[in-house]
Amino acid sequence: MAFGGEDVDTYEVAYDVPGKGNIVEATVTRCKNGIVVNYPDDYMRRRDPDCLLVADKNDTDKPKYDDVYNQDFEPLRQETFQWLKKQKLIVFAFKSGGEEYGYDTLLVSPANAGFFACAVADLQGFTSMHDISEDFNPKAVIFLAPPFRHTHFDGKQIVIHNRLTGIHELFSYNLYPGPSAKKGIYGVLLNIGENEGWTTVHASTVKVITPYDNEIVIMHEGASGGGKSEMIEHVHREMDGRILLGKNTVTGEKTFIELSESCELRPVTDDMAICHPRMQNDSKKLVVKDAEQGWFLRCDHIKSYGTAPQHEKIFIHPQEPLVFLNIQGVPNSTCLVWEHTLDSNGKPCPNPRVVLPRRLVPNVIDEPVEIDVRSFGVRTPACTKKNPSYGILGMFHILPPALAWLWRLVAPRGYNNPSITSSEGMTSEGVGSYWPFATGKMVEQANLLMEQILNSSHTRYLLIPNQHIGAYEVGFVPQWVAREYIARRGSAKFKPEHLVEARCSILGYGLGSLKVDGQYIRKAFLQPEMQQEVGIEGYDAGSKILLDFFKEEVQKFLTPELHEMGRKIIELLLSDASVQEYNDLLPMRY
C-alpha cells in the first residue's frame, strides 16, 4: 500500500492542490530492508515545535485555532471530512498507550499515504478487525489530510486537537509522522492523564545489569535531543576500544578512558513511559511501562559503519521491513542508515529516523518496572571565559527532589537540537519536557509531576549534560559513564561527605572524585570551573545565564492552582537559595 501497487519500486505521494497544481509531499523507495521516505521540502524533515493548535472550548494554555485564525474550526472540520470522503482510505484500530493500559484509537488516512499508516502501525500497534471486541470504544481518532497544509496553513505543519466529550479528535495536516503519529498520540495520553490524575513522562528506561549481576533501573528524561535514545545504547568506542571522554574545543586535546567490560542493557522504554495508576505499588518508587509499540529512533549520530553496531545490525538485516525517513534510498538496494539525505544547503539532514518495532529489539522488557534512578538530560554548548554559556554542568549532578522537580518544570530545550525546525538561544521545552505535545494547562502538569515526586521518595535523581562540559566536546559520553558508574555502585545513594555543592545552586551536588572501573575521571570533567579555559569567571557568568533563565521561566506557574510544595520551591529559586535549603525542604535519601 505504501507504493500504490505490488510491482512498484518508487512512488510519489502527491496531491492536487487548488491554485498550486500537483504537489509531491513525499517519495517512497522500496529497499531490501524496508521503505525509505523522503520529503522534497527541507521543512518537512523535522517537527515544527509550534505546530499544535487546540480547537475545542476546554481549558488550555496552548494557542487556539479560533484565536490564531479568527474563525471557528467547525467549517474546516467539515471540509476535512468531505475531502476524506472522496479518497480511498486506510482505516484501522490500535491502542494508544499499549495493549494492557491503552485506549481504543482509530486512524483514518488517505490510501496513497500508506507509508504513514505503516509508521503508525509500527509505532502504536495494529488491532486486526478480527480481534476488535464488542466493547470497542474509540477514545481518539487521527484524521490525516496532508494537502490542507497548503490550502489553509501556508505550507506549515499543523496538528489540531479537538477534545470532544468522550473522544479526542486529532487532525493531522502534514505527512511527517513526528507531530501526529508520534507526538499527537502522546498529546492524547497527556489529555487523558490530566483528566484522570496521572501522566506519561518523556523518557527512556533501561535495566542495567553489571558484570557482577547487580541490577538497577534508570529512567532518563529530557527534551528532544536530551539523550533518551542514547541512554539505552551501548557506549560508543574508538576503533581501538577506548572511549573518547572529551575533546577540548580550544586546544584540541583529547581525553580517553578505558572500560574493560560494559554493563548489559535491557531496554524498557525509548521515549514515552506511561505511569498509569494501576501499575503503581507500595515500593515508594515510580513504576512505568512503555506507552508505545515501536520507537522513532534518530540516527544522526551514525555517520559511518560501526558507530552503533547493535542498531546497525537490526537496521541492515531486520526480521521484517522497516520504515526509514530522511535517509538516502536506492531501489532494491539496502538502505544504509549513515547515508543521510542532504538538505538543500548540501549538509546532511540532522533528523534521519528509523521506526523500530519493539518486537525487534533484543532483550526488551515488556512488563512494568520500578525506577531506581531518574535522570534528566540537557544539551549544553561549550563554555569558556571568552564565550560563557550555560555549559557549566559537570559529568553528572545529584539532585534533591525539589531541584529534580524544578528541572522538569523548566526543561531547557538546549543547544543545537536536531529534532525540531529551529532552536535559537536557550529556550524551554516546557513542563515535563513534553509540553509541546500537551493540550491542557501547564500548572496541572506541574502538579502531577510534583505528586509523582512526592509519592516516589525511594527514587533518586541525577542531572546529566550532553554535547559539552565546559570547553570539552563530550557527545553523550557523560550519561554512558554515569550509567556504568551508578550501576556498579548499585544505586545513586551517596554519603554526604562524597558530595560537593555546585557553585550554581540549581545544579545540586557534584562529586569530589569519580572512579569507574579503576580509573579516576579528571576533576575538570566533574567541576568545569577547574578548567583553565573556563575558570571561576566563565563559570559564574554561565551560572547567571542559567539562573536568570530559570527565574524567568517559573513566573508563569505562580498561579493559585499551583501545588503548595511547588510554590515553596519556586520561592527558594527566586530568593537565590542554597543547595542545602532545597535539600532541607525535600530531603534526599543518602
Q: Give the domain CATH number at 332.
A: 3.40.449
In a domain, residue 426? The reply is yes
Do 351 and 377 share a domain, yes or no?
Answer: no
Do 178 and 225 share a domain, yes or no?
Answer: no
pLDDT tens digits, 493-546:
788 888 999 999 999 999 999 999 889 999 999 999 999 999 999 999 999 999
pTM: 0.94
- The three-state (H, E, C) secondary structure of 190-256, written as one string: HHHHHHHCCCEEEEEEEEEECCCCCEEEEEEEECCCCCHHHHCCCCCCCCCCCEEEEEECCCCCEEE
In a domain, residue 563? The reply is no
Q: Would you call 61 helix, strand, or coil by DSSP?
A: coil
Do 456 and 399 share a domain, yes or no?
Answer: yes
Do 191 and 102 share a domain, yes or no?
Answer: yes
pLDDT at 142 over 70: yes
Do 503 and 438 share a domain, yes or no?
Answer: yes
In a domain, residue 229? The reply is yes
Distance CA 75, CA 152 (A): 12
Strand 254-257 with 294-298, pairing: unpaired
In a domain, residue 564? The reply is no
Do 142 and 255 share a domain, yes or no?
Answer: no
Long-range contacts, stretch 425-433, CB < 8 angstroms, 24+ apart: 426/390, 426/545, 426/549, 428/549, 428/553, 429/223, 429/224, 431/557, 432/199, 432/201, 432/202, 432/221, 432/408, 433/202, 433/221, 433/222, 433/223, 433/226, 433/408
> What mean pLDDT is predicted for residues 320-346?
97
Reported confidence tier of residue 172, pLDDT bands at 50, 70, 90: very high
In a domain, residue 292? The reply is no
Do 87 and 213 share a domain, yes or no?
Answer: no
In a domain, residue 587? The reply is no
Which of 311, 60, 325 shows the shortest CA–CA distance to 178?
325
- Determine the distance from the C-alpha atom of residue 176 to the mean position of all C-alpha atoms in its chain, rounded to a whole number: 16
Count of structural domains, the chain = 2
Do 36 and 94 share a domain, yes or no?
Answer: yes
pLDDT tens digits, 75-129:
999 999 999 999 999 999 999 999 899 999 999 999 999 999 999 999 999 998 8
Q: Are 49 and 418 in contact (CB under 8 A)?
A: no
Distance CA 214, CA 190 (A): 34
Which of 51, 132, 450 shows the shortest CA–CA distance to 286?
450
Q: How does DSSP classify residue 420?
A: B
Distances (CA, A) of 542 to 246, 251, 383, 389, 470: 20, 21, 7, 5, 10
The residue behind cell 500537551 is 438
Q: Are 463 and 412 in contact (CB under 8 A)?
A: no
Question: Which triple of cell numbers denotes residue 450?
Answer: 510534583
pLDDT at 423 over 60: no
- Tell me which of 334, 360, 386 is where a domain ends: 360
pLDDT tens digits, 235-281:
988 889 999 999 999 999 999 999 988 999 999 999 999 999 999 99
- What was the pLDDT predicted at 584? 97
Distances (CA, A) of 237 to 32, 103, 306, 307, 451: 29, 41, 10, 8, 40
Do 46 and 178 share a domain, yes or no?
Answer: yes
pLDDT at 422 over 60: no
CATH of the domain at 515: 3.90.228.20
Reported confidence tier of residue 419, pLDDT bands at 50, 70, 90: low
Domain enclosing residue 517, as ranges = 201-286+371-557
| CB atoms inside a 10 Å sphere around CB 167 | 15
Do 46 and 137 share a domain, yes or no?
Answer: yes
Do 192 and 213 share a domain, yes or no?
Answer: no
In a domain, residue 404? The reply is yes
pLDDT tens digits, 9-30:
999 999 999 999 999 999 999 9
In a domain, residue 589? The reply is no
Do 258 and 118 share a domain, yes or no?
Answer: no
- What was the pLDDT predicted at 425? 67
- What was the pLDDT predicted at 420? 60
